[in-house]
Chains A and B, each alone.
Chain A
Amino acid sequence: MRKVYSRIETIAGNVISVKAEGVRYGELATVNTRYGTSLAEVIRMRDDEVSLQVYAGGRGISTGDEVRFMGHPMQVSFSDNLLGRVFNGSGRPRDNGPELTEGLIEIGGPSVNPAKRIIPRNMIRTGIPMIDLFNTLVESQKLPIFSVSGEPYNELLARIAMQAEVDIIILGGIGLKYDDYLFFKDSLEEGGALSRTIFFVHTASDPVVEALLVPDISLAVAEKFALKGKRVLVLLTDMTNFADAMKEIAITQEQVPSNRGYPGDLYSQLASRYEKAVDFEGAGSITILGVTTMPGDDVTHPVPDNTGYITEGQYYLRNGRIEPFGSLSRLKQLVNDSTRDDHRALMDGMIKLYANYKESQEKKSMGFRMSEWDDKLLKYGEIFERTLMDLSVNIPLEEALDRGWSILADCFNSQETGLKSELIKQFWPKKDEESGEATA
């Protein structure tokens, strides 16, 4: 069955074609070149002509190189031995560990039956108040981090990876700078989270086709762990690179581009990955956090735009903070009623006041006279930004709520906050410690 073909008919970009028989669509093959062996996948067939996409790229392939069909589609090994290991986009070790071949599973499997999905109900704690308190992350949610390049999105992901209350972290790096890859590795090692983490890393210098495999391979492994009852968090950085890889490949294959050069199926392609986020009834769950860098801070760019239509909210990372206005976790309502009685009210109340602060700030910058109320708001905004919004703040939700109350008490009278009197009675800090800024 495993025939070897030693005559490559065409080589164009990353795509080669051979005349072969008995091949199945999506099947994997190996291409032996003098620079090493690469995997290739069947992407088109017409009569006996089979086109393959070479994962390592077309450079250096000779028409006389050997193509050997493997009789199965792309697979990845699945076992607990994956934990703590680093692989590249085609599932080969990047660390110096042994190649894994046990328990092979196919990637890019079928979609979950909507009738088997359940309404999400568990919060994931991250220790970051801007997430836990204001835009709670929920198990099985899919959320992108919209960011301009230059923002500390990888630092944020690394912190989430270290602190999130989940069983397994899968980090999929797409077009990652080598430095960033090392940063992730080092910080997770230092944070002691390496043993529950699996890396699938495609760096910027790796062949572009492998970039396409990273989300699929990460999510296929995540799915298996979730079915075994694990709560898995998949971190993907950066999905814009994934879309760009898709664009590059589509254009070289002479597909008709739709919007700014991206292929017409960009939405479906992104959706089929993000929709892998799921909470299995009676088993585990997959939660996806992906970074989407916005070229030129433009949210209407096709990648963030299509992503926004797919995901359940978004975190905007701007000026080193998770922006409270554009950011939204659509599923937070499902969990934040059962955390603490004051959670919802405090969340809304603090953001409303922060919006007022922004207005006062604008008035101030335009040279209008500041009232007493404006001064209070300006003080509030400053303390809020410094003690809660800053990404380095690392406290559990309950402490963040308490801190929220103490910030309010520092700046306002209780009736100025517009919060319900019952909550004020229960949570408003007692004035016995008259010591100025209690929180700073």
Chain B
Amino acid sequence: MTKGNVVAINGNMVSVNVDGDVSLNEVGYILVEDKRLKAEVIRIRGSQAELQVFEITRGIAVGDPVEFTKELLAVELGPGLLTTIVDGLQNPLPELAEKSGFFLERGVYLQALPREKKWHFTPTVSVGDSVSRGDQLGHVPEGIFEHWIMVPFGLFDTYTVETIASEGDYTLEETIATVKDSAGATHELSMVFEWPVKRAIDAFPERLRPEEPMVTKVRLIDTFLPVARGGTYCIPGPFGAGKTVLQQITSRNAEVDIVIIAACGERAGEVVETLREFPELTDPRTGKSLMERTVIICNTSSMPVAAREASVYTAVTIAEYYRQMGLDVLLLADSTSRWAQAMREMSGRLEEIPGEEAFPAYLESVIAAFYERAGLVRLNNGKTGSVTIGGTVSPAGGNFEEPVTQATLKVVGAFHGLSRARSDARKYPAIDPLDSWSKYAGTVDHEMTEYARSILFRGDEVGQMMKVVGEEGTALDDFILYLKSDFLDAVYLQQNAFDPVDASVGTERQRHIFDLVFTVLGSKIKTDSKEQARNFFYEFRQKFIDYNSAEWESEAFEKLEKEMREMLSRVSSELEPRAQEAYRNRGDYA
């Protein structure tokens, strides 16, 4: 085992003279008084290694011994990950609290997964079968899921199963199989293994193109700015625009199997809300507590910076692990800017030549590599699994022209830019419908949404013009266009997160009500005056808002819809030609 001694300390970076081989990203422990402080090698020069320490460095002295582990920074993978709340290094926080009380004492590391708990194992291979990395050996029930016990991803050979445990209860570390590699050596396998966080898990034959939408039940997203299963998206926005709230809503409602929340360098208070509320909320898909499908990785802003950098990797590795079981996983990272800032701090300490705004020159490639870990994959057994990544970005001054936002926009498939103007006007979700974009296919026919978007753009133009020339100087047709775009915004783009029905709108309902919205937008509306047009739209809007909070297919819902269709037929009898065409060509999604 390589050992060393501290020679220099600067903030959370420590230089160590080593007596043997070390590798990049290897984990070492600095022995300070009676504590062992975890650190990671981030640069090697000759016999000197530089380590970023995951803890407060106070009290370290020159000459203090350092032990290297030969292991890269890794996480434990196995049954029991779901429902856990861990820090960036996968220390379970509730257990830490039991041990050290109110404060996060440094140098205390606990195992992430419970060792005593027994899992009911059912084998799916037989002696003599040939297996390779990622292949299923058996499964255990974990809450509502069938958790696959797989051949560890670090075993690169093809193996023959020599023994396999029979169905029964086993603890995590008991041997459940022995396999023999091509050279004849045997390996004992248990239900838990480690994987280095900074390497993507790639134990699958093929990556597929993400095509199916990941339904978030937020209308504006699903209809206009969709995210695909296995895709990536980002939410940049100034402070107070509702990034975190949008993430929280998504984490509750998204139609995926598993949600991983990485609270990276943000307020502890927000994590606490999730921590305390999720166990009480029921997942409408399963009827169980939302916590059963959730893992929370929590490295809030006052926790050590180096562990913050590690936390997003810990999160994505756990996401990839569940993808290997054929599940759809959503990773929500809040906020990737804090992660980038952690990189900037380390880069500064390493005295690297700074790039834009002092971010390191490799910022873009690191961000790209992170988002590229998302994806839809075909597994060894033909099933598919996916990891979708949604990251918030907190641009300085709310200005999207800064390096982190720009580097992120280059690699993501959808951009949900939040706007201060919309959040100030209390229009939630405050995603700017004009500036944002998505490259994925949504739940509603593309041609129809494009038509609706064009109304939004033209309505916005009329709105701008009206500010100058006033309502008097605007033509009636233009004014109606403006009212249409305002209507679309008020009843479809905005969504009331506090209304039990409106808070989450499934695909079927979205398609249904979008049909009505589209008919309104596409209709040739004839009124005698602007006043009449305004009154029509205001009344229609009021009805639509009531319709939005009416239970799906309830009596009130049907009644309101009928009333609205009648109301519309009084002012209009036909669609605009372009709308007619879009409507005729619409895909058949029934």
Is chain B found bound to chain A in the same assembly? Answer: yes
B301 adjacent to A308 (CB under 8 Å): no
Among listed A151-159, A179-187, A269-277, interface-contacting one: A269-277
Kindly identify, within residues 338 to 397 of chain B, every residue whose CB is under 8 Å from any CB belonging to chain A: 338, 341-342, 344-345, 348, 354, 357-359, 394, 396-397
On whether the beta carbons of B268 and A117 are closer than 8 Å, the reply is yes
Interface membership of A434, Cβ < 8 A: no
Q: Across the two chains, which residue of chain A brings its CB closest to B272?
A: A117
In this complex, what residue of A is CB-closest to B33? Answer: A24
Instruction: From known contacts A45-B9, A110-B103, A264-B345, infer whether A25 and B58 are also in contact, taking CB-CB under 8 Å.
Output: yes
Given contacts A110-B56, A117-B269, A258-B359, 16 further A-B pairs with CB under 8 A are: A23-B62, A26-B59, A27-B59, A46-B7, A46-B8, A46-B9, A47-B8, A111-B302, A114-B272, A114-B300, A117-B268, A267-B265, A271-B302, A275-B268, A275-B301, A308-B239
Whether B509 sits at the interface, judged by CB under 8 Å, is no
- Interface: B475 (CB within 8 A): no
Q: Which of A44, A48, A108 contacts B9 (CB 8 A)?
A: A44
Docked-complex contact A264 and B102, CB < 8 angstroms:
no
Main SS class of interface, B: mixed
**CA–CA, A110 and B56, complex, Å:** 8
Q: Known contacts A111-B103, A300-B399, A309-B239; is A24 also within 8 Å of B59 by CB?
A: yes
Q: B490 at interface (Cβ–Cβ under 8 A)?
A: no
**Chain B: minimal CB distance from A283 (Å):** 8
B10 adjacent to chain A (CB < 8 Å) = yes
User: Which of A24, A44, A113, A310 has its CB near the most chain B CB atoms (within 10 A)?
Assistant: A113
How far, in angstroms, from A118 to B354 measured CA to CA in the complex?
40
In the assembled complex, B276 has its CB within 8 A of some CB on chain A: yes
Q: In the complex, how many angstroms separate the beta carbon of A276 from the nearest chain B beta carbon?
A: 7
Is A353 part of the binding interface, using a Cβ–Cβ cutoff of 8 Å? no
CB within 8 Å of B: which A248-274 residues: 255-259, 263-265, 267-268, 271-272
Contact of B344 among A26, A258, A302 (CB under 8 A): A258
A25 touches B305 (CB 8 A): no
Interface magnitude class on chain A: 35 or more
B277 to chain A, nearest CB (A): 8
B173 in contact (CB, < 8 A):
no
Residues of A contacting B100 in the complex (Cβ-Cβ under 8 angstroms): 113
* Inter-chain contact B269/A110, CB cutoff 8 Å: no
Q: B94 at the A/B interface (Cβ < 8 Å)?
A: yes
B530 within 8 A of A: no
Interface string of B404-425 (1 = CB under 8 A from A): 0000000000000000000010
Docked Cα-Cα span, A124 to B85, in Å, equals 31
Of residues 549 to 589 in B, which have CB atoms within 8 Å of A's CB atoms? Answer: none
Answer yes or no: A207 CB below 8 A from chain B CBs: no
Quick one: given A113-B97, A115-B96, are A46 and B272 in contact (CB under 8 Å)? no
Q: Is A118 touching B276 in the complex (CB atoms < 8 A)?
A: yes
User: Closest CB-CB distance, B55 to chain A, in whole Å?
Assistant: 9
Q: Is A55 an interface residue (CB 8 A)?
A: no
Asked if B101 is an interface residue, CB under 8 A from chain A, the answer is yes
Q: For B97, give its contact among A111, A116, A255, A325 (CB under 8 Å).
A: A116
- Is A64 in contact with chain B by the CB < 8 A criterion? no
Q: B133 contacts which chain A residues (CB < 8 A)?
A: none
Q: Which residue of A lies closest to B298 (CB)?
A: A114
Give the residues in chain B near A46, CB-CB below 8 Å. 7-10, 15, 62
Q: Which of A90-125 contact B (CB under 8 A)?
A: 108-120
A227 at interface, CB cutoff 8 A: yes
> Once the chains bind, are B105 and A110 in contact (CB under 8 Å)?
yes
Question: Interface 1/0s, chain B 443-469, versus A by CB < 8 A?
Answer: 000000000000000000000000000
Tell me, in angstroms, the Cα distance from A9 to B581 when the chains sit together: 82
Task: For residue A281, give the distance in angstroms from its CB to the closest CB of chain B.
Answer: 8
The residue in A116, A302, A313 that gathers the most chain B C-beta atoms within 10 A of its C-beta is A116
B420 to chain A, nearest CB (A): 10
Please name all residues of chain A whose beta carbon is closer than 8 Å to the beta carbon of B272 when the two chains form the complex: 114, 117-119
A73→B106 CA distance, assembly (Å)? 16
Given contacts A117-B268, A268-B305, A328-B240, contact A110 B106 (CB under 8 A): yes
A341 within 8 A of B: no
Measured CB to CB, the closest approach of chain B to A81, in angstroms, equals 25
| Alpha-carbon distance between A264 and B359 when the two chains are bound, in angstroms | 8
Contacts of B15 in A (CB 8 A): 46
Q: Are B302 and A276 in contact (CB under 8 A)?
A: yes
Check B93–A113 contact: CB distance below 8 A: yes
The A-contacting residues of B in range 103-156, CB under 8 angstroms, are: 103-106
The reply to whether B102 and A112 form a contact with Cβ atoms under 8 Å apart is yes
Is B275 located at the chain interface by the 8 A CB criterion? yes
Interface string of B3-28 (1 = CB under 8 A from A): 00001111000010000000000000
Q: A163-197: which residues lie under 8 A (CB-CB) from chain B?
A: none
Asked if residues B341 and A268 are in contact (CB atoms below 8 Å), the reply is yes
Which residue of A21, A26, A44, A113 is within 8 Å of B103 (Cβ)? Answer: A113
Chain A residue with the shortest CB-CB distance to B424: A325
Q: Can you report 11 A-B residue pairs in the complex whose CB atoms are below 8 A from each other?
A: A24-B58, A44-B8, A46-B8, A111-B104, A113-B97, A113-B103, A114-B93, A264-B341, A271-B301, A280-B102, A300-B396
Q: Are A114 and B348 in contact (CB under 8 A)?
A: no
Leading 7 A-B pairs by shortest Cβ distance: A300-B397, A271-B301, A26-B58, A275-B302, A258-B358, A46-B8, A308-B239
Q: Given the complex, which residues of B lie within 8 Å of A21, measured CB to CB?
A: 62
Most buried by A among B10, B358, B396: B396
Contact with A along B254-274 (1 / 0, CB 8 A): 000000000001011101110
Q: Are A116 and B62 in contact (CB under 8 A)?
A: no
Q: A352 — nearest CB in chain B belongs to which residue?
A: B426
- Contact surface of B with A, Cβ cutoff 8 Å: 7-10, 15, 56-62, 85, 93-94, 96-97, 100-106, 238-240, 265, 267-269, 271-273, 275-276, 298, 300-303, 305, 338, 341-342, 344-345, 348, 354, 357-359, 394, 396-399, 424
Most A-side CB within 10 Å, residue of B8, B9, B298, B357? B9
CB distance from A437 to the nearest CB of B (A): 31
Neighbouring B residues of A312 by C-beta, 8 Å: 267, 269
Q: How far is the CB of A3 from chain B (nearest CB, A)?
A: 13
Q: How far is the CB of B396 from chain A (nearest CB, A)?
A: 6
Chain A residues within 8 Å of B102, by CB: 112-113, 116, 227, 280
Residues of the A chain whose Cβ atoms lie less than 8 Å from the Cβ of B101: 113, 116
Q: Which of B7, B62, B96 has the most CB of A within 10 A?
A: B62
A296 contacts partner chain B, Cβ-Cβ < 8 Å: no
Question: Is A359's beta carbon under 8 Å from chain B?
Answer: no
Tell me, in angstroms, the Cα distance from A328 to B58 when the chains sit together. Answer: 37
Question: Which residues from A are CB-within-8-Å of B305?
Answer: 265, 268
Contact A119 B276 (CB under 8 A): yes
* B58/A112 in contact, CB under 8 A: no
Q: Does any Cβ of B come within 8 Å of A305's Cβ?
A: yes
Residues of A within 8 A of B240 (CB): 308, 313, 328
B51 CB to closest chain A CB, in angstroms?
Answer: 13
Closest to A277 in B: B269
Q: Does A22 touch B at the CB level, under 8 Å?
A: yes
B267-A275 in contact (CB<8A): yes
Q: A302: nearest residue on chain B (CB-CB)?
A: B396
Beyond A117-B272, A280-B102, is A47–B59 a contact (Cβ under 8 Å)?
Answer: no
Per-residue 0/1 for A295-333: is the Cβ within 8 Å of any B Cβ (1 yes, 0 no)? 000001110011011101100000000000100100100
Beta-carbon nearest neighbor of A280 in chain B: B102
Q: Residue B10 contacts which of A44, A264, A331 (CB distance < 8 angstroms)?
A: A44
B15, B271, B275, B302, most chain A CB atoms within 10 A: B302
Query: Which chain B residues lie closer than 8 Å to A108 at the CB level?
Result: 58
Q: Do B357 and A258 touch (CB < 8 A)?
A: yes
Whole-angstrom distance between the alpha carbons of A309 and B354 in the complex? Answer: 24
B9 adjacent to A25 (CB under 8 Å): yes
Interface contact A112-B357, CB-CB below 8 Å: no
Q: How far is the CB of B461 from the nearest CB of chain A, in Å? A: 23
Q: A46-B7, A110-B56 are in contact. Are A24 and B298 (CB under 8 A)?
A: no
Chain A, Cβ-Cβ closest to B470: A368
- How distant is the Cα of A272 from the Cα of B345 in the complex, in angstroms? 15
A94 smallest CB distance to B (angstroms) = 27
Rounded to whole angstroms, the CA-CA distance of A26 and B58 in the bound complex is: 5
Determine the distance from Cα of A271 to Cα of B264 in the docked complex, in whole angstroms.
Answer: 13
